[in-house]
Structures are given as structure tokens and as C-alpha cells.
Structure 1
Amino acid sequence: MLPGGGGRRYSGVPPSFAAVMLLLLLGAGAALFCLLDAWFLLRLPLALLHALWLQPRLRDVLQEQSWPGLVLPSDLDWLLHMNNARYLREADLARSAYLARCGILDALRALGGSVVLAASCARHRRSLRLFERFAVRTRLLGWDGRAFYLEQRFVSPRHGFVCALLLCRLHVVGSSPGRLVQHLYQRQVNSPELPEEVQHWISYNEASSQKLRAESGLGINTKDE
């Protein structure tokens, strides 16, 4: 008998198996989102599948790709606009979709290579607000013996204003940009001339690398990993 229970008896029946499993799943999901950027880890494969199955193939690696985006509450900072880190995340998704659509990912698999983001530079020109839509326009500017150089613009569809601009250097590991492009076109293709501002940025990166090598006691000919 329970105290003050009016004669009711406690059955002592344990929670059902389904209820226990539900609690475990909820706990695991909460831990996943607390400890990892789970939403990004889910969106990345979905973005690749969407690019491969639902969007047309880019026949020219220099063709621009537009990737849609929306500012969500989880993207906001204390000033109630999209925080700086989210720009890099959205650019990563758009860049991955571009690599899938233009065939560079297929070429990497065929030649046993991979790409890593070696450098990026961001300019923020206007804030993106809550529930504001934007498009990330990604295009390949050119390449050299080690890396691809891409430009990514965050554009407001309302008036076409470029809210942010990113330059990215994708370092090719296990192959070279020239070999990848040659694999795509089945012939040798020369890179377009890189814009002047990109050449200045490359020079800055190289000067910075040499300075850091000297500070670390490494030779000036030592390459960055």
C-alpha cells in the first residue's frame, strides 16, 4: 500500500523495453549533438548525394555552381546575424557539392588522390540575418602544380549583393591538379591566368610559410604539409 494512496497498490512493473530504448536513443542523440557537430556530419553526405543524383553534371570545371542556404537560429551570434564560423561551414558544403558535380571527386578516386583545404581568406561585406536566404556561388579560378584556387561568394537573392567572399586553396595530395583535369577532359588543359588579387594572396601565403619555417628551424625549401 502507498502512504495516502487510498488503497492503491504499487504494481512494481518495470518500464517497457520500448520506453527504455526510446530513452537510450534520445540520450545518444543528445550526446551526439553536444559532443560533435552532428548536423554538419549529416548534411555533408546529404549534400553530396543531392549534387550527384538531383543536380545536373557540370561539364566545365570553370562553370559556376550556385548552392542555396538559409540562416537558421543555430547559425546566429549575439548580434543576431550569422556568425563567422557558419560561413566557412556553408562554404565547405557548397565546395563539396561543386567537386562532386564537376567530376573532380571521381577523378580523385580514379587516381588515388585527395584534397585538403590548405588556406582560405574571407571578407564580410554585409550581415546575413535570421531566416534570410542566400546562395553560395562557387567557381574555380585556376590551378598550379599543387593546388586548385576557388572563389566562393555569398550572394543575397533579393538584390544580388555579395555579402561575403571567400578565396580557397585546395591542396591536392597523391596527385596534381593538372593530372586531375587531364583525366576529366582526356587531354592536357592549361589553367586560366589567376586574377591579380589571387596572385598577391599566393605570394602572401608563401612569405608567411617561409617565415614560419624559419621560426621553426626548418629549411626554406621544406614544403608545408
Structure 2
Amino acid sequence: MVELSTVAIALLVSVDLGYFIKVAICTIGSRFFWSRISPLHPSSFYGICTVRDVDFLLNHINNARYLRAMDFGRVDHFVRTGLYRSMKSYSATFLVAASTIRYRKPVYLFMPYKLQSQIVYWDDKSIYYRQDFFTIHDNFLRTTAYVKMAVVGCSPEKIISAVSDTPLPTPPQASSDLLLWIQYNAENSDSLKKLQ
């Protein structure tokens, strides 16, 4: 019995076991219990700010926890839209290549929130998500982010087309702030290449 508890404590300390358990629960729930959605429609994932999420002030979500919650939102979206299955069928991989986040108001301790995740654009190499945190009691947009998901091993268009309602979907029109962020990423990438 002591050996089992030692192994359990070692796992909790060395591996963030809670994260992997939550990913498994999110994947199973998205696959079997929540309705399937079109790849261009938003998915909603619900959460609550707990004591494991707060920063050193002990009253609102830590900045890094937003990014972590966004992982769960994208997992939910990947599974419910069929993008995960499509990605695997083409032996492709999605990798977070960049993200930008804007905090408007904090999500305080024990405050429930809704995370909305939606594909807002894609190009020949990447898929772009917008992810928004709304507090449930007032439906206020607390935090908003863009995430660039690099698609390795296949084109984004091919993966999206495989699960889309239309044969060859066109990317949605990108907003001006998203285009500026894409341009920033491209220029930043070019400047980093010059350093090598």
C-alpha cells in the first residue's frame, strides 16, 4: 500500500497528472456526449476558476492558466468537428506556432466561465483560432486570444475539406487585427532568420 501511494505521489509531483486526466475527460466528453459541429462553427467549453488556477494574489486566474484552458477548448473543437480524425487520417500534426492574448477583466476565484473556440482563418500552412473567455453571470468578454496552429504533414485546406459541409470551403475573411498579427509574425520570423 505504501508503494502504491508513493508511486501516486511521485506521479502527481513529477507529471501534471490532473492535466492529462482533464484532456482524457474532455476528449471522451467531446466525442461521445456533446453534439458534432461544423469546423467553422464555435464550440463552447465551460470551466470555473478554482484555487489551482489563481495567481499569487489568490483571487483571479493566473495568466498561464488561460493558455492551458485554451488547450482544452481546442481539443473540444478538434474532436467535435472531426478535425482530429481528419488530421490523423492524413498523418498530420497541429502545433501551436504563436499566440497572442488580451486580458480585459479578470476571472475571479470560483467564477464560472465559458470558453468559445472558433476557426477564423487559414492559409497554406496554418489554421487560426480565436478563443474568447466570457463570464457566465454577465456574458462579459473577459479575455480574447488568437492562436496560430501550424499544420505539419498536410495542408489545412485538405484537413478542413475532409470534414466540411461544403466540398471546398474558402477561408473566412480575416479581421484587420488578425491580419496585422499575421504580418507581425511573418516579419518577426524574418528578423529571427537574419540572426542565425
Same fold (TM over 0.5): yes
1:78 matched to 2:56 = yes
Amino acid of the residue matched to residue 141 of structure 1?
A: V
Partner of 2:19: 40
Q: Does structure 1 residue 215 correspond to structure 2 residue 190?
A: no
Secondary structure of 1:78's aligned partner: coil
Which structure is higher in strand share? 2
- Structure 2 unaligned segments of length 5 or more: list them: none
1:93 deviates by: 0.6
Identity of aligned residues (%): 25
> What is the deviation of 1:164?
0.7
Q: Distance in 1 between matches of 2:161 and 2:104?
A: 37
Which of these two proteins has the greater Rg computed from alpha carbons?
Answer: 1
Listed as ranges, the gaps of 5+ residues in structure 1 are 1-21, 217-225
SS of aligned partner of 1:96: helix
- Contact kept, 8 Å, 2:39 with 2:163, in 1: the verdict is no
Q: Which amino acid is the alignment partner of residue 40 of structure 1?
A: Y
Counterpart among 97, 108, 131 of residue 110 in structure 2? 131
Does 2:139 match 1:157?
A: no
Match of residue 183 from structure 1: 162
Residues 172-224 of structure 1 deviation map (CA, whole Å, 9 limit, x = unaligned): 110011111222237222111111100000000011111111011xxxxxxxx
Q: How large is the RMSD of aligned CA atoms in angstroms?
A: 1.1
What's the secondary structure of 1:181's corresponding residue? helix
Say which SS state the counterpart of residue 72 (structure 1) adopts.
coil
Query: 1:88 and 2:67 equivalent?
Result: yes
Higher relative contact order (CA 8 A, sep 6+): 2
Q: With the length of structure 1 as denominator, give the TM-score of the two structures.
A: 0.84
CA deviation map 1:115-163 (0-9, x unaligned):
1111110111111111110010111101100111110001001111111
Distance 2:40 2:167 in 1: 16
How many corresponding residue pairs? 194
